């Protein structure tokens, strides 16, 4: 598989989203730390990622590590991980077996976890990265998240919060995104 047009992502950090306890932001950057790519994950996934980063010994008995060891025991395979789709506010990735051309779709946050467990680089489609990235903020200061990367419940919550804070311009953008998804049948009516 030719992945020369893909960008390799570097994990930077996981951070809280102001006003919510159950959702986190994962910040990734390109190799030059020029641009950042932010994806949303639940608190459980954030804990799984942090567990691997802190090298807790029990992690070797956890499912991702065990499955990766099983894959390795099956013989030489050449895999490629790429985030290449945004669907209804969720980034999707593919785990591709370059030897068999088998493709497995997974959440982008799961692809990141697999990348950390396996050591495989995590790529992103260049066009998607250019559309969804912003300048890298190494200190984790105020970061923007593209509205199209939020799922419906997050958008509805953000709309309510924007109205409550009397940020009507922002509320208008969020309302328009919800309307666009409804018109495109991307959300339940």
Using one digit for the tens of pLDDT, what is the confidence trace for 81-112?
A: 999 999 888 899 999 999 899 999 999 999 99
| Ramachandran area for residue 3 (φ above 0: left; ψ -120 to 50: alpha; else beta) | alpha
**Predicted confidence band at 185 (pLDDT cuts at 50, 70, 90)?**
low
**pLDDT mean across residues, the chain:** 86
Higher pLDDT, 145 or 162: 162
Q: How far apart are CA 150 and CA 156, in angstroms?
A: 10
Closest CA to 156 of 184, 179, 132: 179
Q: How far apart are CA 174 and CA 165, in angstroms?
A: 14
pTM of the model: 0.79
Q: What percent of the chain has pLDDT over 90?
A: 47
Q: Give the pLDDT of residue 55.
A: 80
Tokens 């010994």 sit at which residue?
A: 57
Helix axes 168-183, 152-164, angle to 10 degrees: 150
**Predicted confidence band at 63 (pLDDT cuts at 50, 70, 90)?**
very high
Q: Give the pLDDT of residue 108.
A: 97
């Amino acid at each position: 598989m030719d992945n020369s047009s893909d960008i390799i992502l570097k994990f930077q950090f996981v951070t809280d989203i102001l006003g919510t306890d159950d959702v986190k932001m994962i910040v990734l950057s390109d190799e030059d730390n020029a641009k950042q790519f932010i994806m949303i994950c639940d608190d459980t996934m954030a804990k799984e990622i942090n567990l691997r980063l802190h090298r807790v010994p029990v992690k070797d008995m956890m499912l991702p590590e065990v499955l990766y060891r099983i894959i390795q025991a099956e013989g030489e395979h050449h895999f490629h991980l790429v985030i290449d789709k945004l669907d209804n506010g969720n980034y999707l990735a593919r785990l591709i077996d370059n030897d068999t051309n088998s493709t497995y779709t997974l959440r982008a946050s799961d692809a990141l976890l697999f990348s950390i467990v396996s050591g495989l680089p995590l790529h992103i489609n260049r066009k998607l990265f250019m559309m969804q990235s912003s300048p890298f903020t190494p200190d984790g200061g105020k970061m923007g998240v593209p509205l199209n990367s939020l799922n419906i419940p997050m958008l509805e919550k953000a709309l309510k919060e924007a109205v409550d804070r009397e940020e009507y311009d922002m509320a208008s953008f969020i309302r328009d995104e919800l309307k666009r998804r409804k018109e495109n049948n991307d959300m339940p009516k």
